[in-house]
Structure 1
Amino acid sequence: MTKLSVLDLVPIREGEGPSEALAAAARLAQVAEEVGYHRFWVAEHHTMVGIAGGATSVVLGHIGAATRTIRIGSAGIMLPNHAPLLIAEQFGTLDALFPGRVDLGLGRAPGAGPILGQALRKDLHRAAEAFPQDVAELQALLTGEPQLPIVATPGLGANVQMWLLGSSLFGAQLAARLGLPYAFASHFAPDHLDQALSVYRSQFRPSAALDRPYVAAAMNVFTAETDAEAELLASSQEQSFVRLRSGDPGKLPPPVPGYRDTLPPSALAMMDGMMRVRAVGSPATVRAAIGRFAERTGADEIVVAGATYDPAAREESLRLTQAALA
C-alpha cells in the first residue's frame, strides 16, 4: 500500500486565534500517529492571518512533544528567508529532541508577498537565485561533507532527512541532481505534476542520502460518511482559496452548503484548476480517487492536505481515509 502522510497548515479558524490552532494541530498529529500515517508536515507561511505555522521549527517542537513515533517535518521551510546555518541549528535541535523522526523539506518560494523581503531585511529575489548553493551549504552543515569553516551545533551529524519541494521543473531537476527525495505541491499547483515527476525520475542521481528516486505527491482529501457531507466540509477550504486569489485572505470560515453554486464561472474555474487534485467523498469515493492518483503518479507516498472548520471533522477524515485504504 502507498504510504499516507499529512500536511497541516495549522489553520486559524474564524472566531479563534493561534492558541486554538496550535492545540488543534497537536491533536491532529496524535490522531495521525494513532491510525498509522507515516509523517506529519507543517509549512512556513508569513503575514497570513489564517495560518499559524510561520515559526515552523517552533511549531514542530510543539508537534514532536505531543507525539511519540510519527515522523515530523517541514513541507516546507522556505530557505531563501533564512541563513542555512540557522536552519541547520534549528533542525539539529529538533533531531536532538526527537531522534530519527525529523524531516527537513525545503522550498524556494518566500511564502508571502513582496513586502516580506523588506520585513526580513532580505533581497528575496537574489536569495531565491542562490537556492541551489544554499541547499548544498545546508547539507554540508548537517553532514560535514564537504567540511566548512564553521560548525552547526546542534546540527552537524544530525539524522535529519532532507527533501526538496516544488511545483515546477526547477525543484525536480535540483532534487534529481542532489539525489534527494522530492515532494510535489499538487494540492494547489498541479499543472506541471506529471512532467516534473518524469524529469525527477529520469535525471535522478543516487547519493549517500538516497539510492533511488522517492516521490511524495500531495492532494486535497476530505472524507466523511457521505459524498455530500464531505463536499460540505471541503467548502471551508474552497472559500479560503477563492478569498486568497481575490486578494482578501482571512481566517478559515465555516462551511457553506452549496458554496460552489454561489460562485461566478471565473472563480469556479480558478478554484477547480487549483484544487483539481482532490479526493472528496465517502470512504469508497475517496479510495477510488486516491487509487487513480497513485496509479497516475506512481508516488511512493501520498500527502493528505485539506483544512476543515471543525478540527474534529479533519481528525475523522484522517481516520476514514486511512481505514479506506487499509
Structure 2
Amino acid sequence: MSNTTENKKLSDIKLSVLDLVPILEGKTIANSFANSLDLAQYVEKLGYNRYWLAEHHNMQGIASSATSVLIGYIAGGTSTIRVGSGGIMLPNHAPLIVAEQFGTLETLYPGRIDLGLGRAPGTDQLTARALRRDLMESVEDFPKHVQDLRTYLGPVQPNARVRAVPGEGTNVPIWILGSSTFGAHLAGLMGLPYAFASHFAPAALHAALKVYRDSFTPSDTLKEPYAMACINVVTADTDAEASRMVTTLYQAFLNVIRGTANPQKPPVESMEGLWDASEQYAVQQMLRYSFVGSPKTVQEELQAFIDDTQVDEIMVASHIYDHQVRLRSYQLLAEMVMKV
C-alpha cells in the first residue's frame, strides 16, 4: 500500500519541533531547560503541531536524558501543542515503566502526549551497559517490547495479571522512529506512524519510506501510512547570516565524528581550520538534509524535499546558539510554511 500520488504543497505539511535541549558553552543546564520551555511556548503560538524531546545519555552537550520528566515540564508550561518523545530508547527501559510514565503524562495532559520509540541506546556502549536493567536483552527484543507497550496502553483488561496504572485505556499514540529500514518495516506491519531521522542519518530515507508505505497494514489507530521526516533548518533574514549560524551545527557534528563531547558552541565566521577535508565531507554527508538560508532559499529547497519524499509532516531541529536567533528561525519557517 502506498500514499496518495498527488503532490503535496509545502503549505499542506504540518510542522513540528525536535529539541535536544542543548547545553550551551558558557551557560548552565538550568538555562537549557528555561530556553526549551520558552521555545515550546513560542512555537505553540506560531501553530507548530508537536514538540518532541530526544533521549540521550552521557553527552556533555545535551540535557534531555530524563526525557519523560522534561515532557511533563514542557506539557505543563504549554496548553495546546502535542508533546512527546523523539524518542524513548526502548532497550534502556522496561516497557511497563514506560507505559506507567506516559500513562501518567497522558492523564495529566489528555490528548497531547506522543510516545516515539527507538531501538538504539542513545549513547555509547559503556553507558548503555550502565543503563540496562537486563544485559541479556538486546535491540532484537524491540518488536516484542513495542507490542507490550501497545497492550499496556490499550483497552483495559481487568483480568490481566500485569496492568499499567496509570496507562491502561489511555491509548497514547505510539510512533516508531528509525534511521534504517528495520523500523520502517515494523511500523508498516504494526500500522503505526513512522518518523525517520534524516537530520543525521540521511542515507536510507527513501528506502525506508518505500518499505514503510509498501508494508503498511491498517490498524485500529491508523488507516493510512503517516510518515514524518526530521530535518535541520537554519533560517535567517539573509543567506549570509544563516550560513554563519549553521556553523554551530557543523561544530556539533564534528564532535560526533571525533567522539568528543562538548557543549554547543557559538557560531564562527568560517569552519576553515576547524575541520580537515575528510571531516568536512563526513559532516556534510550526515547533514545532507539541512536547509540553510533566507526564507526564499529555504522555501524552494523544502518544497523540493516534499516533492521528493511526499512526507506528511516535517520535524525541525535547529542547532542555533543564540536563543533569540533560534526563535527567529522557527518564526521565519512558520511564516513561510503556515503563512502565520
| TM-score bracket, shorter-length normalisation | over 0.9
Q: Which residue of 2 aligns with 1:191?
A: 203
Q: Which residue of 1 aligns with 2:25?
A: 14
Q: Which residue of 2 aligns with 1:303?
A: 315
Aligned residue for 1:6, secondary structure, equals strand
Aligned residue for 2:26, secondary structure, equals coil
Cα distance in 1 for partners of 2:173, 2:326 equals 27
Q: Which residue of 2 aligns with 1:319?
A: 331
How many percent of aligned residue pairs carry the same amino acid?
Answer: 49
Q: Which residue of 1 aligns with 2:290?
A: 278
In structure 1, list runs of 5 or more residues that go unmatched: none
> Number of residues paired by the alignment?
326
Kept after mapping to 1: 8 A contact 2:71/2:84: yes
Cα distance in 1 for partners of 2:129, 2:198 equals 29
Is residue 2:291 matched to residue 1:287?
Answer: no
Cα distance in 1 for partners of 2:328, 2:186 equals 37
Match 1:133 to one of 144, 148, 153: 144
Amino acid at match of 1:47: N
Q: CA deviation at 1:159?
A: 3.8
Q: Which residue of 1 aligns with 2:106?
A: 95
Amino acid at match of 1:158: T
Alpha carbons of structure 1 residues 213 and 261: separation in structure 2 relative to 1, 3 Å: farther
Kept after mapping to 2: 8 A contact 1:95/1:102: yes
Match 2:88 to one of 58, 68, 77: 77
Aligned residue for 1:279, secondary structure, equals strand
Cα distance in 2 for partners of 1:71, 1:125 equals 35
Cα distance in 2 for partners of 1:91, 1:16 equals 30
Is residue 2:254 matched to residue 1:221?
Answer: no
Alpha carbons of structure 1 residues 135 and 320: separation in structure 2 relative to 1, 3 Å: same
Cα distance in 2 for partners of 1:295, 1:226 equals 25
Map 1:36-115 → 2, pairs under 5 A: 36-115=47-126
Q: CA deviation at 1:106?
A: 0.1
Is residue 2:244 matched to residue 1:248?
Answer: no
TM-score (norm 1): 0.97
Amino acid at match of 1:186: S
Cα distance in 1 for partners of 2:129, 2:188 equals 33
Kept after mapping to 2: 8 A contact 1:177/1:205: yes
Alpha carbons of structure 1 residues 124 and 200: separation in structure 2 relative to 1, 3 Å: farther
Q: CA deviation at 1:278?
A: 1.2
Cα distance in 2 for partners of 1:292, 1:123 equals 45
Aligned residue for 2:315, secondary structure, equals strand
Q: CA deviation at 1:237?
A: 1.4
In structure 2, list runs of 5 or more residues that go unmatched: 1-11
Cα distance in 1 for partners of 2:70, 2:278 equals 36
Aligned residue for 1:219, secondary structure, equals strand
Comparing 190-199 and 285-294, the one that deviates more: 285-294
Cα distance in 2 for partners of 1:77, 1:248 equals 23
Q: CA deviation at 1:311?
A: 1.2
Q: Which residue of 2 aligns with 1:167?
A: 179
Q: CA deviation at 1:263?
A: 2.6
Q: Which residue of 2 aligns with 1:233?
A: 245
Per-residue CA distance 1:267-309 (angstroms, 9 max, x = gap): 1100110001011000111111111111111000011112111
Alpha carbons of structure 1 residues 138 and 6: separation in structure 2 relative to 1, 3 Å: same
TM-score (norm 2): 0.93
Aligned residue for 2:308, secondary structure, equals helix
Per-residue CA distance 1:226-248 (angstroms, 9 max, x = gap): 01111111111110100121011
Cα distance in 2 for partners of 1:191, 1:123 equals 32
Q: Which residue of 2 aligns with 1:155?
A: 167
Q: CA deviation at 1:121?
A: 4.1
Q: CA deviation at 1:262?
A: 4.4
Q: CA deviation at 1:116?
A: 1.7
Per-residue CA distance 1:250-271 (angstroms, 9 max, x = gap): 1000101112574311011001
